[in-house]
Structure 1
Amino acid sequence: MGKNVTGVGRPRASGAAASSQNAREAVLEAAGELFTGAGYAATTTRAIAERAGLRQASLYYHFPSKEDILAALLAATVRPSLEVAGGLSGGDAPAAVRLWALAYADIRLLGGARYNLGALYLLPEIASPNLAPFRAEREQLKAVYRDLVAESGAHPDSVAVRSNLVFGLVESIAIIRRDDPVLDVEAHAVEGADGVLRVAGLPAPDATLRAAARALLPRS
């Protein structure tokens, strides 16, 4: 496929629209482009406002600080996957099917967004107290993977290690995308989800399992 499949919209705002939801989305769009292009530290709120077509005061109305913008962008990389995970938790489908579905959806989210926001996970600013909610949500998602790995039959002594490796495999799409900006997102999502099952100690999935897993996901 090689095309972005999800992402923040690209509206522009001016005048009365500066206080609308469109203005907020314009700020996130501009910041996503600049943070992943010029770099977070090198990007000023003035540059973001100019890129978004807003006055700097209007930007501060929506986001009191640059870190608040970063927090919103990071939340968009994990909350959709948490919603998917919530829909999969406690389901009747085998754990292997639900694990494949979550990994597939998660990789598509990180790999297909307009900008490579997953690469922002490597920023030292991630440790900021103001980003604690993002870190907590990311840990929640990791816990879902851990539960699915355990439910899949992994030996209790290996669950922690296997779930760490599974989570790392999913998030590695950001590094791959950094080196290959035009990667085939769909192919990476399928192969990545297949790899997650193997890392979890499960048999390689077949077409039937993949189809069952896709059927569990919301239609996009």
Structure 2
Amino acid sequence: MGCMGTSGGRRVGRPRVVQRVESGLDPRDELLAAAAELFTTRGYAATTTRAVAERAGMRQASMYHYVSGKEELLARLLESTVTPSLTCARALLADDARSAEDRLWELCRTDVELLCAGPHNLGGLYLLPEVRTERFAGFHAVRAELKDGYRQLIAATTAGAALAKGELDLRTDLVFGLIEGVILVHRSDPERSVGEFARATADAALRIAGA
């Protein structure tokens, strides 16, 4: 791919119910993995903090040594779907040696691969009503910066340079919507190669952008 742990200062938790040394994850990442599985299979509202803790192999009380609760887990999971793509977008925006069309295609392809690479459909969590609250402002800020990266690359293409602001905003909305929606499309055909799917989506995105 052309662009491609969490930190924390909380105190060490109490012993776990079940030691999962085979996972290779630290306790906070185990909690995130458990939350990703449960939120996407049982649903966010139906998942209790006790269920997340037990799935991660620890007591519910120990869980609060690593995270504050379900909302923090959801916020971290949502941000994890965006930050790798934002890192890629920043690198591509700074790469003046390549055409804007090439860089836009690469961002689209990489973003799709990142969204489809995980074992769980985290993109579906974007639709939760809870995500609209102030608690998730960090996720929305990162997502807005990523979307602006798309807008800048579209504007830098030959076709994009000729667009009025309103048309540029519309093209950006359409391209960004396509990229974020692909995880739902890919879910209906999970056996298809992610790389093939990502390249086809990037091709379609450039046609929408007029590039």
Asked if these proteins are the same fold (TM beyond 0.5), I'd say: yes
Contact 1:27 1:48 in 2 (8 A): yes
Instruction: Name the residue aligned to 1:57.
Output: 61
Distance of 2:17 and 2:42 partners within structure 1: 27
Superimposed CA distance per residue, residues 48-92 of structure 1 (whole angstroms, 9 cap, x where no aligned partner): 001000111121111111000000101110000111111111312
Contact 2:89 2:107 in 1 (8 A): yes
Q: Does 1:135 align with 2:140?
A: yes
> Any idea what SS the aligned residue of 1:62 has?
coil
Contact 1:116 1:177 in 2 (8 A): no
Question: Residue 175 of structure 1: CA displacement?
Answer: 1.4
Question: Residue 128 of structure 1: CA displacement?
Answer: 1.4
Cα–Cα, structure 1 residues 16 and 38, in superposed 2: closer, same or farther, change >3 Å? closer
Q: Does 1:170 align with 2:179?
A: yes
Instruction: Name the residue aligned to 1:76.
Output: 80
TM-score (norm 1): 0.81
Contact 2:116 2:183 in 1 (8 A): yes
Alignment RMSD:
2.3
Q: Does 1:147 align with 2:152?
A: yes
Q: Percent identity?
A: 45
Match among 176, 193, 196 for residue 187 of structure 1: 196
Contact 2:19 2:57 in 1 (8 A): no
Cα–Cα, structure 1 residues 177 and 44, in superposed 2: closer, same or farther, change >3 Å? farther
In the TM superposition, 1:4-19 aligns within 5 A as: 14=16
Contact 1:32 1:115 in 2 (8 A): yes
Q: Does 1:107 align with 2:112?
A: yes
Superimposed CA distance per residue, residues 145-165 of structure 1 (whole angstroms, 9 cap, x where no aligned partner): 011111113212411000000
Higher relative contact order (CA 8 A, sep 6+): 1
Question: Residue 184 of structure 1: CA displacement?
Answer: 2.5
Instruction: Name the residue aligned to 1:206.
Output: none
Number of residues of Structure 1 aligned to a counterpart in Structure 2: 191
> Any idea what SS the aligned residue of 2:85 has?
helix
Unaligned runs of 5+ in 1: 1-5, 203-220
Distance of 2:93 and 2:201 partners within structure 1: 21
Distance of 2:105 and 2:169 partners within structure 1: 18
Contact 2:109 2:202 in 1 (8 A): yes
Question: Residue 22 of structure 1: CA displacement?
Answer: 0.7
Contact 1:162 1:200 in 2 (8 A): yes
Instruction: Name the residue aligned to 1:119.
Output: 124
Unaligned runs of 5+ in 2: 7-14
Distance of 2:18 and 2:172 partners within structure 1: 48
Distance of 2:195 and 2:100 partners within structure 1: 22
